[in-house]
A and B are shown apart, each in its own frame.
Chain A
Amino acid sequence: MSSMMLEAQQGMQTKPNPGLFKRNPPIAGEAEAIERAKEGDPDAFSKLYALHKRRVYTLCLRMLGNVSEAEDMTQEAFLHLFRKLGSFRGESAFSTWLHRLTVNLVLMHLRKKGLNLVSLEETINPSEDDAPKRDFGSRDNQLAGSVDRVTLERAVSSLPPGYRMVFVLHDVEGFEHNEIASMLECSTGNSKSQLHKARLKLRELLRNPEQLAVPASGKEGV
């Protein structure tokens, strides 16, 4: 067994987070499809793919910021799912399990790309230029109640990779800081600090929309 597969399996065996059942309510027909897919039914697997491909792809795209890499990693995630579905025991929501598998594959991919010799603890800290400004800003341009989805999505795309990773994992995907620390091989305090800086940076970007990136075109990336 390759070290990549072993790591992915270890990632999947992390203690389940009961809170994620709330965000991942069972989907009609999913449980039956899982059982049939475990028995090798290709139609059932096709159904699971249809149910989850957009969320898995969106997760990959947000983490990678690159369309072609996101497509490749989505395929990789479902290949892994195909092989490992038999080990899914329903201790967490299926989509939680699938997303954890996906996150671990994306992180392995990033390490293979060049982060393999340095822990993410060091590499997720952006440069001073990318860090949020240390001021509270004017109250004139307040955001509360006016953060729309499209603008926030663009702002998240504009975040430095380290901030984006922690923000997506915590605020979007719902992972806890201790889970993120385990996945990113950093301390819980570092995860908490990076999340706070990410939110501050997002506030800055949302107050200055001219700084926002265009949607991912395949040319961006970590």
Chain B
Amino acid sequence: MSDPAPLSQTTENYDNMTAAEFEERLPDLFQAGGGKVTEDPRFAVFLERNPDCAALVRDLEAIAAAAVDLFQPAEEDEGPPEPAWGSLITKEPDEAIE
């Protein structure tokens, strides 16, 4: 069986999609919608009719949004110990890498 067409390239009606179909297409759906499935009007009716699916999507979007904040280390996050820098500047780079 061939893969379904990417959602970004389809105009089909998703209102009557089953939960299983929704789950199968969810990775592509996130990709096509730029990670904002809840804001995509094509899925509004489906999500309203399927509150479990809507809850899942909201949770996954919340996780992805929170992950962006992990990019910057927290103030209290420890860095590498300072002695690592001391050995960096005293080693000849060729000698250290090869």
Interface contact A152-B89, CB-CB below 8 Å:
no
Surface stretch bound by B, among A10-18, A110-118, A120-128, A140-148: A140-148
Residue numbers in B under 8 Å from A156 (CB-CB): 67, 70
Chain B's nearest CB lies how many Å from the CB of A66? 13
Interface contact B67-A167, CB-CB below 8 Å:
yes
Interface contact B81-A71, CB-CB below 8 Å:
yes
Which residues of chain B in 11-34 are interfacial with respect to chain A, using CB atoms and an 8 Å cutoff? 19, 23, 26-28, 30-31
Chain A's nearest CB lies how many Å from the CB of B59? 4
Residue numbers in B under 8 Å from A109 (CB-CB): none
Question: Given the interface contacts A53-B79, A149-B69, does A79 sit within 8 Å of B88 by beta carbon?
Answer: yes
Beta-carbon contacts of A53-71 to B below 8 Å, as 1s and 0s? 1110110001000000011
Bound complex: CA of A62 vs CA of B77, how far in Å?
Answer: 12
Question: Given the interface contacts A79-B97, A149-B70, A193-B27, does A136 sit within 8 Å of B53 by beta carbon?
Answer: yes
Chain A: number of interface residues, binned into ranges:
35 or more
Residue numbers in B under 8 Å from A173 (CB-CB): 71
Chain B's nearest CB lies how many Å from the CB of A160? 16
Closest to B50 in A: A136
Bound complex: CA of A5 vs CA of B51, how far in Å?
Answer: 51
Q: List 10 A-B contacts (CB under 8 A).
A: A23-B68, A58-B73, A70-B80, A75-B84, A78-B84, A78-B85, A83-B94, A143-B58, A145-B62, A152-B66
The 6 closest A-B pairs by CB, nearest first: A171-B67, A196-B27, A147-B66, A144-B58, A54-B79, A136-B52
| Residues of chain B whose beta carbon lies under 8 Å from any beta carbon of chain A | 19, 23, 26-28, 30-31, 51-53, 55-56, 58-74, 77, 79-81, 84-85, 87-89, 91, 93-94, 96-98
